Amino acid sequence: MVLGRTLAVSLVGLTGHLVDVEAHLAPSLPAFTLVGLPDASLSEARDRVRAAVTSSGLPWPNRRITVNLSPATLPKSGSSFDLAIAVATLAGAELLTAPAGVVHIGELALDGRLRPVRGVLPAVAAAVAAGRPRVVVPVANLAEAQLVPGALAVGASSLAQVAARYGAEVDVPDTTDPVVVEHQRAVAPVLDLADVVGQAEARQCLEVAAAGGHHLLMVGPPGTGKTMLAARLPGLLPDLVEADAVEVTAVHSVAGTFDPGDGLLVRPPFEDPHHTATPASVVGGGSGIPRPGAASRAHRGVLFLDEAPEFSTAVLQTLRQPLEHGELVLHRAQGAARYPARFQLVLAANPCPCGKAVGKGLDCTCRSEQRRRYFGKLSGPLLDRVDLQVELVPARAGDEAGDATSVVAGRVRVARGAAADRLRGTPWRTGAEVPGGWLRERLGADGSLLHDLDRALDRGTLSLRGVDRVLRVAWTLADLDGRAAPTRGDIGNALLLRTRGQGA
């Protein structure tokens, strides 16, 4: 036999594709050629594989070796193909018998050990979906692979261990220590909404945002609790359903931020990038196949931009696509990668650069053009996609704390349950996702309900998109109050919550 075959998985975004790994050994001058559209890191596999084979006590075939990764038109990147290339090469040299239909995933160290790789969960899920449930992965990735329903995952610590299972005459040392990954498990502190003193209107907006999945803008001077409120929003959100948990976990697996010891991620994630973050770090990027950024890691959770006007304009404008479509499509020369990004955006901003333009603004030292330039970075098209906007004022002596997180979260669960019943049979999950036309059809024949919105539209306070978003908030207010449909009062309150009192 001069041809060895096995299977691997190529990830493009979160989509996995089965790859046939073929190794052809010809009696000619020794050489090693890798074809099939590999990137630079994958092209280096020939050196890693050769060193790992010889370090494992196996002879390296003294022939011309051609390894093909098929389909050749599919971009392939990363070091996860190392194990499959080694198995196919050794099978072609008749040093072992590779079983048909087994998928091999893993990076090889020069001493033959198997190193863990990113994206094992979506890769194994793709293999199972393609009818190839038998998968060999590094021991450090085994717990993650076993999270995929239907997967018959096997862990291996070294190439010698895999080769011995396939009949190779090789000694497997008992002292082989597998490569493991040390995860820094930071215990998340319990953040209670009762810690926030005063700010009744902002707390109401936070509850409405949690109940309907709405985006939120908080404007106020430093020290009024904007960051505290944003950090407590994930605690108000319900646990992720299984399908969402798998998808969120897959994103974090590709990003390399997932600890399989904790199982699937069942709590909504929270991402708060620094204002110096680049567009690539927020929306994803990199050479070759782009990696997910903070926006995708916040999928089904919260993306918090503190001091939002300090972010670069490029970062803020790139958020418009995921806010509208719930996904990010990143185009590169080698192809396009799609990552889910249906998050709740929370923006926090000072009223001006110095932060003292409160009330009459007598203590503010900013010039008028500085104020316009500062807040102008939050452009109209971006703010038009933010459903709730609230102004915070400094707390006063005697202000009391409101309900605790557990109490508010209970009301949020009831409201989300009402919305789920209303949206059953539709592709939408929360009120923030529903088109305005669908909501207007269910308001009934009472045209007076929309009078306030019509006047705001005529004055230019609202755009047509803004009208739809006010309706979404009004339905959420009705769900929180246990009503089957919003009243004119709900629509008026929703208008106030969107326009910071300027559209009433």
Same domain, 104 and 55: yes
Most confident range, picked from 72-81, 178-187, 326-335, 351-360: 72-81
What is the pLDDT, as a whole number, of residue 179? 58
CATH code, 120: 3.30.230.10
Four-CA torsion 480, 483, 485, 487, nearest 10 degrees: -90
Q: Are residues 383 and 319 in the same domain?
A: yes
Same-domain status, 153 and 240: no
Q: What is the CATH number of the domain that holds 349?
A: 3.40.50.300
Residues 358 and 212 in one domain: yes
Say if residue 275 is in the same domain as residue 415: yes
pLDDT at 80: 94
**By the 8 A CB rule, do 86 and 161 touch?**
no
pLDDT in tens, 112-145: 999 999 999 999 999 999 999 999 999 999 999 9
How many distinct structural domains can be found in the chain? 2
Residue 453: pLDDT above 50?
yes
Confidence of residue 288 (pLDDT cuts 50, 70, 90): low
Cis status of the peptide bond prior to 222, with omega within 30 of 0: no
pLDDT value of residue 174? 64
What pLDDT, on a 0 to 100 scale, did the predictor assign at position 504? 46
| 197 and 161 assigned to the same domain | no
Percent of the chain with pLDDT over 70: 93
Q: For residues 502 and 285, give the distance between their C-alpha atoms in angstroms, rounded to a whole number.
A: 39
* 278 within some domain: yes
Q: Is residue 367 one of the residues assigned to a domain?
A: yes
Among 402, 438, 29, 37, CA closest to 194 = 402
pLDDT in tens, 330-365: 887 667 788 999 999 999 998 888 887 777 667 788
pLDDT for residue 183 is more than 60 = no
How confident is the model over 379-434, as pLDDT tens digits? Answer: 678 888 899 999 898 888 777 788 899 999 999 999 999 999 999 999 998 989 99
- CA dist 235 and 233 (Å) reads 5
- Full domain range(s) for residue 16: 3-165
Is the pLDDT score of 441 beyond 80? Answer: yes
Structure pTM?
A: 0.88
Q: Is there a single domain that holds both residue 146 and residue 199?
A: no
In a domain, 183, yes or no: no
Q: Tell whether 48 and 148 lie within a shared domain.
A: yes
φ and ψ at residue 150, rounded to 5 degrees: 90, -5
In a domain, 352, yes or no: yes
Domain end (from 398, 414, 433):
433
Residue 254 in any domain: the answer is yes
pLDDT in tens, 235-260: 999 999 998 999 999 999 999 888 88
Q: How many CB atoms lie within 10 A of CB 24?
A: 17
Q: Does residue 93 form part of some domain?
A: yes
> Is the same domain home to 229 and 353?
yes
- Compute the average pLDDT of residues 468-485: 92
pLDDT value at residue 333: 67
